[in-house]
Structure 1
Amino acid sequence: MSELAELIAGWAQPGRIEWIGVRPDRRAPMTAVEELTLTANGLDGDRGRAGKRAVTLIQQEHLSAIGSYLGQGSVAPDILRRNLVVSGINLSALKGREVRVGDAVLRFTVICAPCSRMEEALGKGAYSAVRGHGGWCAEVVQPGRVKLGDVVQPVD
């Protein structure tokens, strides 16, 4: 393995699940839960879709960054409509990798770009504030349970 490949494969510490939310219907408010099951089709109780976008994740550290770009405090995770909020590990460094989240294994696929609803939810400029900080979409490689406080780390 080259030195660069070794650096890219490295990570400092595991992350942690800080918040879990599901959207039972389109435009319905997010429901925060303490644990759930990730199935081959996505999250139990979520209206999401199977495949590359079955689960959405965002870094907790980015919630305050988005808020600061809007001149306010940290943004609440339910407003951004992501399923899992993770702290302590750089999610961008996990693109294309298999990642253990609780008992499940996910593969990060594509960025979770902001939608036009961000302006509606957070006000003028919110779309741009979320750009580059909106998180990641993932597919479910191995179904399993996920709960608050679970470890998030690459599968080596």
Structure 2
Amino acid sequence: MGRIELILTSRACGTPMESHEAVELLPGLGIAGDRYATGRGFYSGVAEWDAHVTLIRREPFDAVAAEHGAILDPVDLRRNLVTAGVDLHSLVGRRFRVGDRAILLARKVWPPCQHIVRSSGRPEIYRLLGRACGIGASVIEGGVVRLGDLLTPED
């Protein structure tokens, strides 16, 4: 299936994203130390948008660069796990494993939002990426996730 190419967290809404080689996923919370696991994210407490972990595909960013000459960085969208080689939308409603132990449930498509567009100063995000790149997920079983870990559907 696909693999993890980049792992990102932020301590609070508006603080810079930090890159990691490995993080611990906590069941029912998210990534240890990340703003959504600690209740300090922009959408914390908003049930519809309060994912434990967000994932985004690398491929749409590469396509935008090749087709439009626009350089957008996955960090601008403030998602946690950047993937390659996996159709994230096909996982919605399904459980999947990341690495050896962690199991997530893909809840819904996670498109770029107005908050991201404002905070990044990149209005072209909507036009160029739209709904092509992300999902939100709940952590069902925790574990350490590392760069290069595979994403594997449970069913």
Give the TM-score normalised by structure 2: 0.82
Alpha-carbon offset, residue 67 of structure 1: 4.4
Partner of residue 83 from structure 1, selected from 80, 87, 95: 80
Tell me the equivalent position of 1:125: 124
Tell me the equivalent position of 1:149: 148
- Quickly say closer, same or farther: Cα 1:34–1:90, change in 2 above 3 A: same
CA separation in 2, counterparts of 1:140 and 1:80? 20
- Segments of structure 1 that go 5 or more residues without pairing to the other structure are 1-13
Alpha-carbon offset, residue 35 of structure 1: 0.3
Partner of residue 97 from structure 2, selected from 100, 104, 111: 100
Alpha-carbon offset, residue 21 of structure 1: 0.2
Alpha-carbon offset, residue 112 of structure 1: 1.1
Tell me the equivalent position of 2:19: 32
- Structure 1 vs Structure 2 CA RMSD: 2.1
Identical aligned residues as a percent: 35
Q: Which runs of 4+ in 1 moved over 3 A?
A: 49-52, 65-71
> Does residue 33 of structure 2 align to residue 45 of structure 1?
yes
Tell me the equivalent position of 2:43: none
- The amino acid across from 1:110 in the alignment is K
Count residues with an aligned counterpart.
Answer: 142
Deviations 1:73-111 (A, max 9, x none): 3x2221110000111111111111100011200010011
Tell me the equivalent position of 1:10: none
Indicate the structure (1 or 2) with the bigger Cα radius of gyration.
1
CA separation in 2, counterparts of 1:118 and 1:148? 27
- Quickly say closer, same or farther: Cα 1:155–1:81, change in 2 above 3 A: same
Give the TM-score normalised by structure 1: 0.81
- Quickly say closer, same or farther: Cα 1:106–1:143, change in 2 above 3 A: same
